[in-house]
Amino acid sequence: MTFSLHAFSTSDTSFDVQASALEDVRPHPTEAALVQLGQAVMTELLDLIGDTALEDVQTILAESLIGAFHSAAGRIERDADRARDRMRALERDFDGSEMADTELQEATTSARAADVAQAACELVRDAAAEVYTTATGDVWTPWRGSRRGTQLTAAQLEAKQALRAIEKRRSADADPGGPVVAFRAAPMADSGVDANRIFDALNWARAQWPDMALATTGAKGAERLAIRWAQQKGVTLVLARADFDRHGKAAPFRANDELMALEPTCCLTLAQSLDTGRAAHSHPFGPALNLAQQASSRGVQHLAIRARAA
């Protein structure tokens, strides 16, 4: 029997232990090395294109780089799923022969190795995304599907997948899980005073429901601030994206329907920036007002985020 060249130490993370347990003669990169790689590639990209003509497409390039690791993790996950399907078939038809035992061990090893490779891609992805956010203030989120959380980020779910899970739990008459707090806000409500009050409201919600999940549409501006808060706090994020290709101008309101279908315990809204200068040049954000109205009509607790009392 052979073992990984990586030796166990007190500094080993769960990833390092999982990688070492594969008993592969080839060493695995440590978690620290993978995180450093993600930080380095994003830092190199931003440093290279900053203050150049490519700065205009910095967002596209950076998000595409992060998305490449996210896509790779998804492809590897599908390989792992196929290996697990083969494991189940081999276990079902196991006849006790040496050949069957060898095939089952190979399928098991393949699935475990794919799980580690997927986790490695996710570590690089999340480290690159963290550098991107720190450097630019923008938050990367996958356009489609969910994202499994690592120690760097909380899990992120697609609203449609979350809804299917809720329906599955309901049909099984099981515990519906942690409460959902829905949040919608005006894109321009991302000034310093807005951010402070948004974080105050979200911290209050988390104090009320420690195992809460945050549901929002991922729109730019204020809702991206809320996503960043969720990442920093390790709060599960549920995204109900507005599908403009399918629903046109009604897309933000259809996204609200998805948020309400999640059966939120509470809805938080900020329809207009609390910055007096910005508020003077903008109108209340219709989708935030619509979510507030839906919450009121359905008897769901709703709190409008307001400025601190003088």
pLDDT of residue 86: 83
Spatial contact of 284 and 186, defined as CB atoms under 8 Å apart: yes
First to last CA, the chain: 71
Question: Rounded distance, CA 137 to CA 40, Å?
Answer: 18
pLDDT of residue 173: 40
Show Cβ contacts of residue 236 under 8 Å, excluding neighbours closer than 6 positions. Answer: 149, 154, 155, 156, 157, 178, 213, 214, 230
Question: Rounded distance, CA 277 to CA 293, Å?
Answer: 26
pLDDT of residue 152: 47
pLDDT of residue 6: 45
Structure-token match 């991107």, residue found: 132
How far is residue 128 from each of residues 27, 45, 108, 123, 133, measured CA to CA in Å?
23, 10, 31, 9, 9
> Within 13 A of 128's CA, how many CA atoms are on the CB side?
28
Averaged pLDDT, groups of 10, the chain, 310 residues long: 40 77 83 93 93 92 92 89 82 75 80 88 91 85 58 51 57 54 93 92 94 89 89 86 86 90 93 88 90 92 85
Q: Report the predicted TM-score, pTM, of the whole model to 2 decimal places.
A: 0.55
pLDDT of residue 175: 35
* Domains observed in the chain: 14-136 (no CATH), 156-304 (3.40.50)
pLDDT of residue 160: 57
pLDDT of residue 11: 58
Question: Rounded distance, CA 88 to CA 92, Å?
Answer: 6
pLDDT of residue 156: 47
Tokens of 184: 């919608």
